[in-house]
Structure 1
Amino acid sequence: MRMTLGDIAKRLGARLEGDGTLPISGAAEPGDAGPEDLALAMRPAYAERLGDGSAKAAILWEGGDWRALGLSAALFVPRPRLAMAHLTQALDPGPEITPGIHPTAVIDASAEIGEGAAIGPFVVVGRGVRIGAGARIGAQTVIGPETTIGRDVLLHPAVRIMHSVRIGDRFTAHPGATIGADGFSFVTPEKSGVEAARETMGEQGEIRAQSWTRIHSLGGVEIGDDVEIGVNTCIDRGTIRATRIGDGCKIDNLVQIAHNVVLGRDCLMAGQSGLAGSTIVGDRVVFGGGAGAADNLRIGDDVIISGATRVLSNVPSGRVMMGYPAVRMDQHVEMYKALRRLPRLLRDRFGSQKAVPNPGPSD
């Protein structure tokens, strides 16, 4: 998409200095920028590579001297990463989905398709589906019966939405996302080994052969407005009540959200994080990459869970958690420092690590 630097300045709410008529068709790192790229040099260290490229304009830090850097113009913004968000949105054309309904799409006669929707090749839309105005649905996407999808949604290719799902406006799902598959719920005719281990803290007692019977998922999935779901992420339907995802949540690739989970507003879940069944999460909670929470927990508002952390108990609002099992970040850091001191403490106590007595086999 080709724009002038002045147009971009208006979109970003940036201060423009220099030639606002410069054509801009892309964004690039300073050393790779061409003459129609806007170089992203928001720190002095980044600007050192401007001479390796041929950019005429850049986003600079406040106080940067664009003339001394050999530029014809510059933009200045108070919050560079926020400016980058608006810039990339302005320059991203999005997936190419031809307006209208592709002739290979299979759409049930009872489905309602909103005005201006674009439905790509080999899309399947089931019985009683309602799709809002301005929706864009990529190739080979499947939407199950009795599902409702709001306005201005974007479903990238090969998204799978099962039956009786409710999705709000401006929803985005990336390729391979699956919403509304059955939850992972099974039961044994008698008390299972897992139940016995939980009750006795590890003693199973008599071990017997057991088989598993599925508990079917009768609930659906309810997703609010302005939610984004990443590649190959799965959100399971509820057992009796719906799994719920609040407005404004952003969920990365390869995330698992299990049956009956409630995720509050404006939560962020990074890649390979996960929530086990029936856990309730408050508003504005952040899960780092690979973090997870056990089942049937309550996590309060504004909690931050760092990468690879495992939450095994309830977390009050406002906590920052780290480690396995999760503890307060400051406590985890102190525990880690103590662990690193152990070799020195052992040397001081026994004179040599090799001289530490062998405790022998565990019971």
Structure 2
Amino acid sequence: MTSYSISEINTILKGQLIGNTNHSIEGPEEIQKASNHQITFIGSNKYLKFWKTSKACAALVSENTDIEPGENRAFIKVKNVDLAMAHILELFNPPAPVFDVDIHPTAVIHETAKIGKGCKIGPNCFVGKDVELADGVILYPNVCVFDETIIGKNTIVWSGTIIRERCVIGNDCIFHTNVSIGADGFGFRPSDDGRGLVKIPQIGNVIIGHQVEIGANSCVDRAKFSSTIIGDGCKIDNLVQIAHNSVMGRSCIMAGHSGLAGSVTLGDGVIIGGSASIKDHTTLHSGVTVGAGSGVIGDVAAGKTVLGYPAQDARDMLKQWVAIKRFMKNQ
């Protein structure tokens, strides 16, 4: 079992050690669930009240924390508690599932596929015609990569994910279970006789940059023509929909159940809260934040925060909510 002393952890974090403990630290845990061999974190002053009854032997705290840890207990004061806890989680991160062989004999790999050095391909995977996997790509069991797709170095694809034909994936990406990349965009038009729907062919592809992470059961649809694009460093939560021909800039964040309709454009660093929806052919410029549950129906200028349905400037929307609350109270 991996364990560290409090001084070893403080050396790694480069924090300020307050107090001391002779307990070895065997992992992190929530403040109310921790044992005396675990370290916890106090990211907000509202959680300080739980420290007295917590069994944790140590905690990461912010630099302005003014209480003492107590007997045989320690605080490590750090500038950013969340980032420090991320380092702790890395220390105790269990190893990834083991591959007994690099390429499982049940994997089906087309003779024209190019497989780089150090790739691992699990049971029942499918790798199609003219696919290129760069060095260090990992395909966990039951992944399908269809024809002419290119996947960059050290990208990890978890089980159940399907990457359709002609997609281009960057380096160091992570796709969690059951991600769909490159399925047909949602394109239909009424037929001439008005008695049915005509499917519009979707002949484009998906291009995903480097260091992109996509959560379980999320979908990125191929473009009608040209490409649906996700920029470097974007992080996408579970159950997110990104429709055909949308373009995301660098380092955007989309929380769970949010969605982009067709041909949406996001600048760099856009943050979209959970269950928010963005209307088709809308542009959100760099630095925009969209509150959870909001519905954006028009372009949003750089740096703005919008909220509500339909979404408006957050300050204006909050004022409206206050006014409505007062009005209802006085009825």
**Do both share a fold (TM > 0.5)?**
yes
Question: Deviation at 1:296?
Answer: 0.9
- 2:35 corresponds to: 34
Worse-matched range after superposition: 301-310 or 143-152: 143-152
- Residue 322 of structure 2 is aligned to residue 337 of structure 1: yes
- Residue 287 of structure 2 is aligned to residue 286 of structure 1: no
- 2:70 corresponds to: 69
Question: Deviation at 1:110?
Answer: 1.9
CA contact (8 A) 1:19 1:72 kept: yes
Among candidates 171, 174, 181, match of residue 172 of structure 1: 174
- Residue 286 of structure 2 is aligned to residue 301 of structure 1: yes
Identity of aligned residues (%): 35
Worse-matched range after superposition: 124-133 or 6-15: 6-15
- 1:214 corresponds to: 199
CA contact (8 A) 1:279 1:298 kept: yes
Structure of larger gyration radius: 1
Among candidates 255, 264, 269, match of residue 240 of structure 2: 255
Among candidates 125, 128, 138, match of residue 127 of structure 2: 125
CA contact (8 A) 1:66 1:72 kept: no
Distance 1:338 1:68, change over 3 A: closer
Q: Give the whole-Å Cα distance in 2 for the aligned partners of 1:289 and 1:21.
A: 43
- Residue 55 of structure 2 is aligned to residue 58 of structure 1: no
Unpaired segments ≥5 residues, structure 1: 191-207, 348-363
CA contact (8 A) 1:32 1:52 kept: no
What does the per-residue CA deviation read over 1:91-136, in whole Å, with 9 as the maximum and x for residues that have no partner? 2225414161122222222222222222222111111111222222
Question: Deviation at 1:148?
Answer: 1.0
Aligned to 1:145, the other structure's residue is in SS state coil
Aligned to 1:332, the other structure's residue is in SS state helix
Distance 1:280 1:69, change over 3 A: same
Distance 1:158 1:94, change over 3 A: farther
Distance 1:68 1:179, change over 3 A: closer
Q: Give the whole-Å Cα distance in 2 for the aligned partners of 1:338 and 1:18.
A: 50
Unpaired segments ≥5 residues, structure 2: none
Aligned to 2:130, the other structure's residue is in SS state coil
Letter in 2 for 1:140: N
Letter in 1 for 2:281: N
- 1:87 corresponds to: 88
Letter in 1 for 2:79: P
CA contact (8 A) 2:23 2:36 kept: no
- 1:160 corresponds to: 162
- Residue 242 of structure 2 is aligned to residue 240 of structure 1: no
Question: Deviation at 1:301?
Answer: 0.8
Distance 1:113 1:9, change over 3 A: farther
Q: Give the whole-Å Cα distance in 2 for the aligned partners of 1:58 and 1:76.
A: 9
Distance 1:48 1:343, change over 3 A: closer
Distance 1:71 1:161, change over 3 A: farther
Distance 1:25 1:165, change over 3 A: farther
Q: TM-score, normalised by structure 2?
A: 0.90
Greater helix proportion: 1
CA contact (8 A) 2:22 2:72 kept: no
Aligned to 1:115, the other structure's residue is in SS state coil
Distance 1:179 1:315, change over 3 A: same
CA contact (8 A) 2:182 2:222 kept: yes
Aligned to 2:84, the other structure's residue is in SS state helix
Q: Give the whole-Å Cα distance in 2 for the aligned partners of 1:44 and 1:188.
A: 58
Question: Deviation at 1:246?
Answer: 0.4
- Over the aligned positions, Cα root-mean-square deviation in angstroms equals 2.5
- 1:142 corresponds to: 144
Distance 1:43 1:309, change over 3 A: closer
What does the per-residue CA deviation read over 1:126-171, in whole Å, with 9 as the maximum and x for residues that have no partner? 1111122222221111111111111121212111111111111110
Q: Give the whole-Å Cα distance in 1 for the aligned partners of 2:55 and 2:136.
A: 39
